[in-house]
Structure 1
Amino acid sequence: MSAELWKKVKHFVGMPLEEAEYEEEMTTAPQLPQLEPLPEEPVSARFSRRQRQERVSGSNLNNIIGLNSALTQSEMLIVEPKSFEEALEVVESLRVRKAVIVNLSSLEPEAAQRLIDFVAGATHALDGHQQRVGDGIFLFSPSNVVINSLGAESWLNKDAKDLFYRIG
């Protein structure tokens, strides 16, 4: 009786009355032939990375010149600012990788100090270098230009408080 009740429930739900039971046939993958490992080449027969690249390119790699070294040309700008507003010109020159010599002889001491503080801060932010060349004359360079001085020993012997620039 329960089997008949089960058939009626299946019919009501919409399931097929008779389901054929199928056995899933287990299929086995075709056997692949066993491959033998390749014989190991002697170390002397192997090519180095450079030899492989030369074989592929067909030319020697010694004639390649780096793009940066071929195209870069150092440029230096000399500025004698008349007002603090010209500090932006100095910073913009540093940003485009030009070294700048700033002569502050035309500025009042307060404006000169303010300009030097601003440009020194910008130079530091751009990972550049700075050096006092003379009274009121400063050299600022971008990170790709290193400043070497013959009198560098005198800078190394100063206290940290004496390394800040003072105008006047």
Structure 2
Amino acid sequence: MSSKIVDKFLSFIGFEEVEEEIPEKGPELSNIKESGIRSKLSARPELAAVPPSRQTKIVSTQPKTFTDVQVVAEHLKGGQPVIVNLSQVQPEEAQRILDYASGVSFALNGSAKKVSGEIFLFVPSGVDIIGAGDLRNFTQDTESPEAKAATRWFKSESA
């Protein structure tokens, strides 16, 4: 009886000894958590070697006439970058080849850049060219002396 009085007194002042039942996690909850962790671990792929991708080949061409530009177009349509050397072509014909190949490249969401002199790189979509010159410089290089003189004269008149 005295223990009951002491227990009541202790509970009155806030020092009561309460045995709380700690609820055990049900087997369902622990299984769900464990299976969730396991599925996340199993979903993460193991480290593996990256399979080699399809090897890209770069085609180099040196057209002699305008009709040779069809080869450039076919390779670009096939997803291959093409290097075009226009050193063996007259400037007027080189400009036509350049315009045609640039149009094909543009239509395929690709790009075209001047590499050096009369050498150009045309690439299909998905290939980036870093550090190459701009095509606008080529048109200035292939202009005839008369056209360059006329351009200079026109610029000096408008200034």
TM-score range (shorter-chain normalised) is 0.5 to 0.7
Contact 2:109 2:125 (C-alpha < 8 Å) held by counterparts? yes
**Number of aligned pairs?**
114
Runs of 4+ in 1 over 3 A off after TM superposition: 162-165
Name which of 60, 77, 85 aligns with 1:103. Answer: 85
Change (3 A) 1:98 1:117: same
The reply on whether 1:62 has 2:40 as its aligned counterpart is: no
Percent of aligned pairs sharing the same letter = 30
Find the counterpart in structure 1 of residue 36 from structure 2: 47
TM-score of the superposed pair, with normalisation by structure 2: 0.59
Q: Tell me the residue number matched to 1:123.
A: 105
Q: Aligned equivalents of 2:100 and 2:82: distance in 1?
A: 14
C-alpha distance in 1 between matches for 2:120 and 2:58? 13
- Partner-residue secondary structure (3-state), 1:47: helix
Please tell me the root mean square deviation across aligned C-alpha atoms, in Å: 2.9
Partner Cα distance (1:121, 1:40) in 2: 65
Q: TM-score, normalised by structure 1?
A: 0.56
8 Å contact kept, 2:118–2:138: no
- The one-letter code of the counterpart of 2:54 is T
Q: 5+ unaligned residues in a row in structure 2: which ranges? A: 1-25, 143-159
Instruction: Indicate which of 116, 136, 157 corresponds to 1:134.
Output: 116
1:85 alignment partner in structure 2: 67
TM-superposed deviation, 1:165: 4.2
Distance in 1 between residues matched to 2:65 and 2:106, nearest whole Å: 22
Q: Which runs of 5+ in 1 are unaligned?
A: 1-37, 55-59, 156-161
CA distance in 1, matches of 2:70, 2:138: 19
Amino acid at match of 2:99: D
Q: Distance in 2 between matches of 1:102 and 1:134?
A: 11
Letter in 2 for 1:41: L
What is the alpha-carbon distance in structure 1 between the residues aligned to residue 69 and residue 101 of structure 2?
7
